[in-house]
């Protein structure tokens, strides 16, 4: 039976004419899985973006396939596509022993980051059956020799296949003995802030330079914040002066607890810094990546603020009520997969507008070349520039 790939949707991820819910690599991985003769309950799928691999295997009658997807959006898309096609018989897992225990075939859509590949390779070698075969695929234009080297650290046999339909598979077998401790998460200290990162988290355990600029503007880079509550009328000052205390986040300890959201939190640098500077605040860190969420949880714990920061795996803060938040901190993504696409940032601007109360503040840092100010004004409210370095711009938007 031919699987109806074209019926798959990316929703709730960004949808556009040039963005598909499956690619030729998915097709090659499915063909390989079906030809392997391995039973469904001995197959694990990793990085199945919108469910194409898992659902094509389920549709072919393989029962008990296990799948790990990093993104909350991918998990929702898989569930919805499964409903739409009336398919079941698979289970979803984190990147852990429950995903891989006894697995003899692992089908992997290669991640972009080598650190993420390193963590996955270690997990497969650590937890799968001793005769496991790892089949890793990607688009030829995005594949590098370094990926084979990373896989080679976990497997004695690594063979790249001939490219087909502009995709290529790399087949690895004979897992090597693993070190006593997994290579991730990694930990780094930065001026009073400890960051913990799993392989798939943005910037690893480094403090991103854009994040650093935002922390400096907000006075959260180690120095104590002291500032006024947001103006409840929602009116923005005509001009912005970062030296003016009203230009920084609400942190007045006499005001009722401020609810602050680190939207797209990554390793949780913004959330942890805010919580350290504001013991009275209610802080929520949320990201659509499971690797980010696990990292942020470990980061807030490492900084002693784990009991004051709630970390949520969610798409664009969808679990947060409308108009329920005083402050949003945002360092938005500007890459979508491998294509540069600003839809992902727009989605978070819209989310910030939805969850902020009128008069609430959105602080955003972005690459100066992106010029988001007009869009922020349109979607959120009056937007002023607080800082502009040659590379980064920091703005404050007041929710109208």
Ligand X SMILES: C[S@@+](CC[C@H](N)C(=O)[O-])C[C@H]1O[C@@H](n2cnc3c(N)ncnc32)[C@H](O)[C@@H]1O
Q: Which residues bind ligand X (CB under 6 A)?
A: 202-203, 208, 211, 262, 264-266, 269-270, 287-289, 292, 315-316, 331, 333, 344, 347-348
Nearer to ligand X, 100 or 201 (CB): 201
Distance in angstroms (rounded) separating the CA atoms of residues 89 and 47: 18
Question: Residue 264 Cβ, how far from ligand X at the closest point, in Å?
Answer: 2
**Residues facing 378 on adjacent strands:** none
Q: Cis before residue 185, ω within 30 degrees of 0?
A: yes
- R_g (Cα) of the chain, nearest Å: 22
Nearer to ligand X, 42 or 361 (CB): 361
The beta strand positions in the chain, using DSSP E, are: 43-46, 65-68, 90-92, 105-109, 133-139, 155-160, 167-175, 186-190, 193-197, 259-263, 282-287, 309-313, 325-330, 335-336, 339-340, 356-367, 383-388, 392-398
Question: Residue 271 Cβ, how far from ligand X at the closest point, in Å?
Answer: 8
Nearer to ligand X, 30 or 351 (CB): 351
Question: Residue 358 Cβ, how far from ligand X at the closest point, in Å?
Answer: 23
Nearer to ligand X, 231 or 350 (CB): 350
Nearer to ligand X, 133 or 195 (CB): 195
Nearer to ligand X, 32 or 354 (CB): 354
Question: Residue 123 Cβ, how far from ligand X at the closest point, in Å?
Answer: 20
Find out whether 96 and 70 touch, Cβ atoms under 8 Å. no
Question: Residue 63 Cβ, how far from ligand X at the closest point, in Å?
Answer: 32
**Residues facing 263 on adjacent strands:** 286, 330
Question: Residue 227 Cβ, how far from ligand X at the closest point, in Å?
Answer: 20
Question: Residue 55 Cβ, how far from ligand X at the closest point, in Å?
Answer: 22
Distance in angstroms (rounded) separating the CA atoms of residues 400 and 362: 11
Find out whether 363 and 230 touch, Cβ atoms under 8 Å. no
Question: Whose CA is closest to 34, among 45, 22, 23, 50?
Answer: 45
The secondary structure of 321-338, three-state, reads CCCCEEEEEECCCCEECC
Residue 382 to residues 81, 239, 333, 348, Cα–Cα distance (Å) = 39, 11, 22, 17
Nearer to ligand X, 167 or 289 (CB): 289
């Amino acid at each position: 039976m031919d699987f109806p790939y074209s019926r798959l949707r990316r929703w709730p991820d960004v949808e556009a004419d040039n963005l598909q819910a499956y690619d030729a690599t998915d097709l090659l991985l499915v063909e390989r899985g079906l030809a392997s003769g391995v039973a469904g309950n001995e197959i694990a799928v990793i990085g199945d973006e919108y469910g194409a691999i898992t659902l094509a295997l389920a549709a072919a009658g393989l029962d008990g396939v296990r799948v790990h997807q990093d993104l909350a959006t991918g998990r929702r898309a898989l569930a919805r596509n499964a409903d739409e096609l009336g398919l079941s018989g698979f289970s979803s897992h984190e990147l852990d022993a429950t995903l891989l225990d006894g697995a003899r075939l692992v089908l992997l859509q290669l991640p972009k980051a080598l650190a993420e590949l390193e963590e996955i390779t270690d997990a497969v070698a650590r937890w799968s059956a001793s005769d496991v075969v790892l089949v890793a695929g990607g688009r030829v234009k995005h594949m590098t020799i370094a990926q084979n080297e990373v896989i080679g650290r976990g497997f004695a046999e690594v063979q790249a296949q001939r490219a087909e339909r502009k995709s290529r598979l790399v087949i690895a077998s004979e897992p090597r003995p693993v070190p006593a401790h997994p290579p991730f998460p990694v930990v780094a200290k930065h001026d009073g802030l400890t960051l913990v990162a799993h392989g798939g988290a943005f910037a690893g355990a480094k403090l991103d330079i854009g994040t650093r600029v935002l922390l400096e503007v907000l006075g959260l880079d180690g120095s104590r914040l002291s500032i006024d509550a947001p103006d409840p009328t929602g009116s923005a000052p005509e001009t912005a002066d970062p030296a003016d205390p009203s230009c920084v986040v609400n942190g007045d300890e006499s005001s009722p607890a401020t609810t602050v959201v680190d939207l797209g939190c990554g390793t949780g640098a913004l959330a942890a810094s805010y919580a350290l500077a504001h013991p009275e605040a209610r802080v929520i860190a949320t990201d659509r990546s499971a690797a980010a969420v696990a990292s942020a949880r470990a980061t807030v714990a490492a900084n002693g603020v784990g009991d004051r920061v709630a970390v949520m795996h969610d798409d664009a803060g969808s679990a947060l009520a409308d108009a329920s938040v005083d402050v949003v901190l945002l360092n938005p993504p500007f890459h979508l997969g491998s294509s540069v696409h600003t839809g992902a940032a727009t989605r978070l601007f819209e989310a910030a507008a939805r969850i902020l109360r009128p008069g609430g503040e959105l602080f955003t840092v972005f690459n100066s070349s992106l010029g988001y100010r007009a869009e922020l004004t349109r979607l959120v409210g009056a937007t002023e520039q607080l800082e502009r370095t040659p590379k980064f711009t920091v703005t404050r938007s007041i929710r109208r």
